[in-house]
Amino acid sequence: MDGCRTYDIEGKRMAADPGFAGEMKNSARTDFGLCYQCLTCTLGCPMSWAMDYPPNRIVRLVQLGLRDEALSSISIQICSACETCVTRCPNGIEIAALIDSLRIKSMKEGVETREPLLRKFHKSFLGGFRNYGRLHEIGFVIRLKLRTLNMFQDAWSGFRMFLKGKFSILPHRIKGREAIKEIFRRTIESRKG
Ligand code: SF4
Ligand code: SF4
């Protein structure tokens, strides 16, 4: 982007998108401009250890308009939506909603995430819920292996868990599976808009 502001972050030169912060403010419906980087969100986040940018830094990326960095981050894929950050933020910033909006946007725009395995993991994990209403571990592992083509990683651990009866061969089906399928259908529909 010609003439736009650039920043050096962790040795990388990044160009800002001046419209990005406003766009995210509208979709997440929270005023992250109030953030003064106190780190309270990050200190309580149970997933920050695995993130490339902890929650306070995700907020900063969006404030600065660093669109590509925010949309491709690992953090937005592994946030568990526990809302601890929201509860702790002294400014009432809905960080979980912001991260949700970033995740949805990155999927809609087909942005490559810095850890592609995460999306494959999510799809494989949710596939069982959609069909049976709860997780079927073996089905999940098979779907994940087919997506990653990494057939033998953790195979020995999986086999030992199977021997200990941790995995059932057939899925358990809950009552009301049609309602679960309807939730998936409506969610997918709402994200097309
Ligand atoms: S707790 Fe709120 S104000 Fe503090 S860094 Fe996090 S988002 Fe910003
Ligand atoms: S909602 Fe996400 S970012 Fe916030 S504390 Fe939970 S895992 Fe961390």
Section 54-65 average pLDDT? 97
Structural Rg of the chain based on CA atoms = 19
Q: 137-148 and 117-132 are packed helices; what angle lies between their axes, rounded to 10 degrees?
A: 140
In a domain, 100, yes or no: yes
Ligand 1 center–CA 91 separation, angstroms: 7
| Predicted confidence (pLDDT) per residue in 144-190, tens digit | 888 888 887 888 887 888 888 887 888 888 888 899 889 888 988 87
List CB contacts of 78: < 8 A, sequence separation 6 or more.
Answer: 47, 50, 51, 118
Section 65-73 average pLDDT? 96
Tell me which residue range forms the domain holding 141: 117-192
> What is the reported pLDDT for 81?
94
Q: Is 60 in the pocket of ligand 1 (CB under 6 A)?
A: no
**Bridge partners, 12 (sequence order):** 9
Q: Are 24 and 53 in the same domain?
A: yes
Asked if 102 and 53 touch (Cβ cutoff 8 Å), the reply is: no
> What is the reported pLDDT for 161?
83
**Bridge partners, 9 (sequence order):** 12
Q: Are 57 and 135 in the same domain?
A: no
| Predicted confidence (pLDDT) per residue in 103-135, tens digit | 999 988 999 988 888 888 888 888 888 888 888
In a domain, 1, yes or no: no
The atom of ligand 1 lying closest to the CA of 37 is 5
Q: Are 102 and 135 in the same domain?
A: no
Q: Is 6 in the pocket of ligand 2 (CB under 6 A)?
A: no
